Amino acid sequence: MKIGDIGKAVTFVTPEKLARMWGSGALDVFSTPSMIGYMEKACVMAIRSELEPGFSTVGSAVNVRHLAPSTLGKTIHTQGELIEIDGRRLVFKVSAWDESGLIGEGTHERFIINNERFLAKANRQK
């Protein structure tokens, strides 16, 4: 993987992605949790083919602004661009837009993890 790697994800504003359905607002607009989820997906898409077998990434920080509403039926495009690599820590610039323009932007941090060790640690915490 290298600085500048880009991943993309596309979704549509459907009833289950509305703020009212998530409880994150009272209106029928694309929810911030949904936007963040698709931003994360774009970041995963940017680097998943570069990871060794048995490794993946987990999100560790999100710093985004939801700038504009998107209504039912709109197409949402998200992008994650790798902007920093610090050992196992990866930082991405993220953005989201619909037919009307930019709706969200910010940064997202992920860590490369060994799947087996990560799950073993998670299971010990039960």
CA dist 75 and 71 (Å) reads 9
E strands in the chain = 6-12, 55-66, 75-86, 89-98, 101-114
Distance CA 102, CA 5 (A): 21
The whole-angstrom separation of Cα 51 and Cα 34 is 25
Which of 11, 57, 66, 78 is labelled catalytic?
A: 66
Name the catalytic one among 11, 40, 57, 78: 40
For residues 13 and 23, give the distance between their C-alpha atoms in angstroms, rounded to a whole number. Answer: 16
Instruction: Please say if 77 is a catalytic residue.
Output: no
The answer to whether 40 is a known catalytic residue is: yes
Q: What DSSP character marks residue 15?
A: G
Of the listed 11, 14, 16, 32, which one is catalytic? 32
Q: Which residues are catalytic?
A: 32, 40, 66
